[in-house]
Structure 1
């Protein structure tokens, strides 16, 4: 247990204890007999389905509006800013809706980072990722069913490395972008922050959604912005063209590396996990 002392006296703030939750077990057999476990998996599936449905429709709608063969121009439609808002806004809404049920991951990279930090068990992490990928495929399937005439013509919202950029650049963009997102997730949900800033009404989904928005502004011109392997996988499956699969590895390797770096940075450096472990080692008297 640790304690943060908040301002007292005239400010009306008092000391408040906080507890770090115990590390999640690597494999927890009890999860299989709990309805809350299956409810969380369903929530991740539905949230990712809705996320892909809204965002891919936005991307295809924008491309159809700027299509010169239809009399469109580059100034038409919602633009890159609107696409970024669609992704960030949907994450804000869906994390808000599902945070109390599943934790509001909606992204295998987020799940992977939280697993490395021992926030979720291996079983939950694997089933979350499966539900997210399946939800992404179904969400893109709905878009394809509703926009059959435009879906293939405008790329199906699939992530592809833009012309003029190397694979290394694309990979770096995905690593850094995912680091920003997962770092924000850890910071926004840190129990120490919740105790210290209990007098400040901080809504965790807001900074998470805003992080997604900012990363999209930066990396849409490079990779179309993945930072979510389920999003890239679902769009590639339903689009089904070779180019969408050529660089698919970038949208898995990059986010997983970025999530791992964010988890290590938060746990070992910001939360001083390495220093605590070293201190415990020294205090044991072992040389």
Structure 2
């Protein structure tokens, strides 16, 4: 499927009120691609964004460098391009990035700094991360723990309002049954972001249990399978989502706001030289493929 084109990008700041369940998000109105709808291809081996395994990953991401376009206006770029965050760091975690464990689920924000890059290849904008200080957009990287390693993994200490020069984006892998939560740390008055594995199974109760052990953390927004997982195509396969969290500057000198955004996707075909499945946008989801959830302090 070549030449995916979306219509004009409109009203990217349509929002929903945060809730513990994350249901009922208001999707941005992005016209569906005007292309024939191919039969979907199901890749049983790929789950979330870092379960995609590659034997000989390339050291350089293929395709045209569109980092400046995505970094300057992530919502606008996502309104016109198919995002892909599978296999974001082929060859291993970026140097200098601390990874969470089941015993220590949160990594300090200062230990999660990376450079984000975007390359357009085979109709996908492939997101990748490299060590902080290398070319790219400064960002925080949020890893996650796969099933069996622990349900929760995230970063803590993200400023409510980043200062000039501080990262204003948080990136993580693709979602297929997992959730991302924003939490207000009332003790330190900053934000934590949490990747919640397999939320679709018993997520609400698990999140309640986790928060009972961290009484200083209060829910400030959730993006869950009830928001992004919908049957699509002639086989009714559920959509996944490419999430990205970014700080939207306020107009006229007013304070800005963090937004959790996600672009619905489904598989077009299997692996590519970049070590990823190629994705496409669903053409039959009412409301379009782009969603936003505001991070709102309780």
* TM-score, normalisation: structure 1: 0.21
Name which one, 1 or 2, has greater alpha-carbon Rg: 1
**When you count strand as a share of all residues, which structure comes out higher?**
2
Higher helix share: 1
The TM-score with structure 2 as length reference comes to 0.20
